[in-house]
Amino acid sequence: MGGGQPQAYAIVTLHRPSNVDRKETFGAILEALSLLATKIPVLFPVHPRTINRIREFHLERYFDFFDEVRAVNRGASRVQCIPPLGYLDFLCLMANARLVLTDSGGIQEETTVLGVPCVTLRENTERPVTVSSGNNALAGTRRENIIRLAFEKLDSTPLVRLPKYWDGEAGTRIVQILTQQVRPG
């Protein structure tokens, strides 16, 4: 499914107010990501809204930031912030990742289709089929849960088990149902 052999990096996306607008919650997530970064590089295409919270809460110590000229705050075992990416570039990065950690519902679905393990940084999900398929794990925002589930995903073989009807044939099924319903009588 994905872009071949998974690469040795993880990707993070964080933007939901419930995760980034409370310093305590955001800090716990960042502590977990920093620990994860000791095992595998963690790339973070940082959302402008999120970068504002990083600065507001003085959480820069968790990150390597890059500007056009030089690495800023560069050190070992930090989350590597990169500029936001366009959809196709992000999809390519995600398809080749070893792990994705996210608070995005759409990304939960995309990782499932791509067969890339996912850890959701939320207390609930509107995409429970991604969890029941085995590709996604719901970690919540507690440091211990995020670390445990991320390491479990890294230490296991990625699953490529698509949920029922996720076969790319939805349009065909819709047309078949409509033509059965609209037969001339």
Mind telling me the catalytic residues?
15
CA distances (Å), origin 93, targets 40, 48, 82, 112, 117: 15, 19, 12, 15, 13
Supply φ then ψ for residue 75, to 5 degrees: -165, 170
- Helices (H), ranges, 37-158: 48-56, 87-95, 105-114, 128-132, 143-155
Q: Are strands 42-45 and 10-13 parallel, antiparallel or unpaired?
A: parallel
Within a 13 Å sphere around the CA of 89, how many CA atoms are in the beta-carbon half? 6
Q: Name the 3-class secondary structure at 14.
A: coil
